[in-house]
Structure 1
Amino acid sequence: MNPETQTLGERYLAVQQTEEFGELRRRFRGFVFPLTAFFLAWYFLYVLLSVFATDFMSTKVFGNINIGLLMGLGQFVTTFAITLLYSRWMNREFDPRADAIGQELIDGDPS
């Protein structure tokens, strides 16, 4: 079909079938899913230890600072670290590829 006569939806479906789009989707999932699984495992470990290992979590490390407090603060550190990693990866790896695919969609020229 001629790109000038295709609707935006038809062009999107054509772009969606390209190898570049599939690769972009695989890269995204390959980065995001493991990072999400790691964070959820870390979070649930913290919650489960808080509930079932209270003696361990209340172990004093120094002064009134215990393991539970350090792990809780570690949740914040992890969240910021993951956000930084994600943002840098998106800017460096994902966005340039997505922009190129988006331009194909606008131009009506899927490969």
Structure 2
Amino acid sequence: MTAETAVVLPVVVLALAVVLAGGALSAGALTCADSARAAARALARGDGAPAARAAGEAVLRGPGTVAVSAAPSGMVAVRVTTRVRAPGALLLPADVTTLSCTAHAWREPGP
């Protein structure tokens, strides 16, 4: 192995770890947002808080918290908090990140 390879190889491995971690965080953020939207949609339809929480947890597919609330004005809000573990945990010191997403929707008129 040449000296140039010995210098470049750790940089390439670190760059790959950063790219994989960024991809994991992006996928986690999209899943978190989808979970919040699904729960807000269910709550806006009038399904109730337990059904909205179940809809959010079904999309989340992992550990996380789905908090639902409704305002008297007809607006519903859902906040989802989840933890994302980055791949290559041995390479990165902060391998777990907490993500939080919020979704709002207007309550749909009943029949």
TM range (shorter): 0.3 to 0.5
Under a length normalisation based on structure 1, what TM-score does the superposition of the two structures give? 0.43
Under a length normalisation based on structure 2, what TM-score does the superposition of the two structures give? 0.43
Structure with greater strand percent = 2
Q: Tell which structure's C-alpha radius of gyration is larger.
A: 1
- Which structure carries more relative contact order (alpha carbon 8 Å, separation 6+)? 1
